[in-house]
């Protein structure tokens, strides 16, 4: 679920849509949480979907560390990537604002932790834009991403958290919730590195997300699946958490 003080806006024909703040949102606010409406699908479930729905998953879902596809039900799935995003991920269920977000500012996140299936050209326009964003970026950059998240979390207990009642927390998220309940400003957070799907790599042409999420796919099913059945490789829009357009 995306923060209530946001709306979907059209950006351009290249980028498509993005998520923008409609009010001031302070640093330390959870901008997005995994909630019970977000759909989590296994590889087999996705494979059995009608083509139109399968393509929607390919375009909008992201892959979690267990290889499942996560399809966000609200406009959170339109969050775009930035090399200097407004939020960083914490554990499995949170995106936290790493700076104050001003009204009218676009909410962005880091696709480099979302087990993207393919390196893409980035034109986010931010100072320090990496130019290319790929599955291996997290191995190089996780220390600074973790530091940003920990710094932001120091503010989490002292700012409004309207999304907290809706979070669907996983095992790695309970320490975060416990710390918030205690009003703690410091806690050892799960590292971005732990969100990486084992075996994540740049997919070959035609593989896309399946190269990552389909690591354990049934060989018999794979034999029956023609290349034409598979979603296109290029996912310019990553998901809500974000498969949004790279720019
Ligand atoms: Zn960039």
| Structure confidence by residue, pLDDT tens digits, 164-222 | 999 999 988 998 999 999 988 878 899 999 888 876 666 665 555 655 555 444 434 44
| Dist. CA 235 → ligand 1 center (Å) | 16
Other beta carbons less than 10 A from residue 179's beta carbon: 18
| Dist. CA 171 → ligand 1 center (Å) | 32
For 30-46, give one letter per residue: b (16+ CB within 10 A) or e. bbbbbbeebeebebeeb
The CATH number of the structural domain formed by 6-229 is 2.170.270.10
| Dist. CA 190 → ligand 1 center (Å) | 24
What phi and psi values does residue 62 have, to the nearest 5 degrees?
Answer: -120, 170
Would you place residue 118 in the very low, low, confident or very high pLDDT band (cuts 50, 70, 90)?
Answer: confident
What confidence tens digit (pLDDT) does each residue in 41-100 have? 998 999 899 999 999 998 899 999 988 999 999 999 999 999 999 999 999 999 999 999
| Dist. CA 247 → ligand 1 center (Å) | 7
| Dist. CA 99 → ligand 1 center (Å) | 18
pTM: 0.84
Cα–Cα distance, 134 to 114 (Å, whole number): 10
Cα–Cα distance, 196 to 50 (Å, whole number): 28
| Dist. CA 114 → ligand 1 center (Å) | 15
**What pLDDT does residue 197 have?**
82
Give whole-number Cα distances, 40 to 24, 45, 92, in Å.
31, 10, 12
**What pLDDT does residue 73 have?**
97
| Dist. CA 131 → ligand 1 center (Å) | 5
| Dist. CA 87 → ligand 1 center (Å) | 14
7 forms beta bridges with: 20
**What pLDDT does residue 210 have?**
57
């Amino acid at each position: 679920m995306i923060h209530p003080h946001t709306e979907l806006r059209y950006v351009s024909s290249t980028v498509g849509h993005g998520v923008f703040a409609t009010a001031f949102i302070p640093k330390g606010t959870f901008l997005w949480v995994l909630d019970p409406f977000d759909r989590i699908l296994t590889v087999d479930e996705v494979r059995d979907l009608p083509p139109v729905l399968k393509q929607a998953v390919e375009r909008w879902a992201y892959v979690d560390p267990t290889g499942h596809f996560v399809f966000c039900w609200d406009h959170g799935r339109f969050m775009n990537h930035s090399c200097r995003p407004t939020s960083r991920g914490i554990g499995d269920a949170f995106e936290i604002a790493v700076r104050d977000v001003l009204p009218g500012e676009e909410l962005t996140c880091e696709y480099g932790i979302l087990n993207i299936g393919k390196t893409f050209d980035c034109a986010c326009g931010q100072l320090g834009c990496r130019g290319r964003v790929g599955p291996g970026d997290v191995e190089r950059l996780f220390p600074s991403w973790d530091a940003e998240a920990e710094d932001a979390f120091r503010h989490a207990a002292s700012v409004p958290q309207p999304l907290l009642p809706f979070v669907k927390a996983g095992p790695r998220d309970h320490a975060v919730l416990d710390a918030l309940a205690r009003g703690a400003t410091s806690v050892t957070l799960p590292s971005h590195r732990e969100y990486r799907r084992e075996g994540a790599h740049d997919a070959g042409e035609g593989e896309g997300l399946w190269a990552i999420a389909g690591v354990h796919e049934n060989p018999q099913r794979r034999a029956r699946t023609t290349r034409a059945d598979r979603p296109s490789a290029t996912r310019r829009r990553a998901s809500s958490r974000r498969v949004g357009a790279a720019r």
